[in-house]
Amino acid sequence: MSSNVEILSLILTALCLISFCLVFTFLFRHYYLSNIDEIKKGNADQEILELEVEERKKKTRKHAKAIKITKKVVGYGFFAIVLVIFGFSLYGRFFNNNLSFGNSGLIVISTGSMSEKNESNDYLFENNLNNQFNAYDIIGVTKYDSPEDVKQYDVIAYKNTDGIIIVHRVIEIREENGENVFITRGDANNTSDTNFQYENYLTFDNIIGYYNGTRVPLIGVFVIFLQSNAGIITIVAIAYCLIMFDHYNSKFDEALSNRTKYISETLKYDYDSVVKLETFNENITLYNNKIYTFVDGTIFEEKEANEENLKIYNDKKALVKIDEKESKSEEKPCKTNFFSKSFEQIKNKFTKKDKSE
């Protein structure tokens, strides 16, 4: 029954994450492709150049460079930590949460059998044994050289009859057939592991090592989650979203850079000048006493601005402003900018759909 519940839970988790990825892909793909199209058509030239002016100012500030580098270092550092934990988790899944480095290793604790002192275990209080640890801690273990090195009350890691790693305390050492054998118990338990984790006695060949005092609290909870099927699916989904986001963000940056270069070179735009670019609509632009006509983002006509065509230009611009004011007073839309148009379009689509239903 429990296996069926786990399978159902895994399927639901996968479906939820796949749905999330699809929605995420749809929103960001629509957002970026819409903005890229706007950039290529020249509908945002004025904003692009203003953005470039701000970027050039920032590049001249030393603290801005330092902040940018710091953000990158922090971002890459966080990503590296996640990769290390994920790698450790996958390794631990296949090797029973035991990561070895020569004679030492790390083990993830998944239960609370060593988290406290059970009152029935008098030896813990009599010998002042206070090296307990909690579930989801990661502890360090070191290998023994020989059976004689195992001492009473050592906390050891061993493999039980099912091959699962258990970390408990040695409470008794006996000699059987000329060799030392051991009885163990968790500090929080009131019964020994005999005939539960192993038959009769624990032998030295099943001991991995002893607890060396190294302990990292709570990190194990992430390791155990990432070892689960749901955890692996989650990481894969996040990785997909990051890759997809980076892909479309790169396309957006490329379109922005190409358009900035085209406008700068074609209009011979001076970023240090007080003269600014003015746009009448997506087809007509005024800059430095010249009127440029665009077709699909490419300059179709260039002519000197004189009194006659400037008057026509300004009159049309005034009419556009009046139309904009009237439409705003009627519709009262939310204030948006070029980089949020796509989300407004998506919102309007869903609004229309709800009204039709």
Domains by residue range for the chain, with CATH = 2-81+229-356 (no CATH), 97-225 (2.10.109.10)
**Residue 121, phi then psi, degrees to nearest 5:** -95, 80
pLDDT at 4: 67
- Looking at the DSSP bridge assignments, the partners of residue 2 are none
Entry pTM:
0.53
Q: Are 248 and 33 in contact (CB under 8 A)?
A: yes
Helix runs in the chain, H state only: 2-41, 45-59, 62-94, 122-126, 220-227, 229-267, 307-331, 341-356
Average pLDDT score, the chain: 76
Q: What integer is the mean pLDDT of 38-44?
A: 79
Higher pLDDT, 44 or 157: 157
Q: State the pLDDT confidence band at 119, using cuts at 50, 70 and 90.
A: very high
Residue 272 CA to residue 56 CA, distance in Å, equals: 10
Residue 305 CA to residue 269 CA, distance in Å, equals: 16
pLDDT over 60 (residue 177): yes
Residue 204 tokens, joined = 């030295």
Residues 6+ apart with CB under 8 A from 63: none
pLDDT at 342: 47
Q: Are 167 and 155 in contact (CB under 8 A)?
A: yes
pLDDT at 325: 46
Residue 250 CA to residue 175 CA, distance in Å, equals: 69
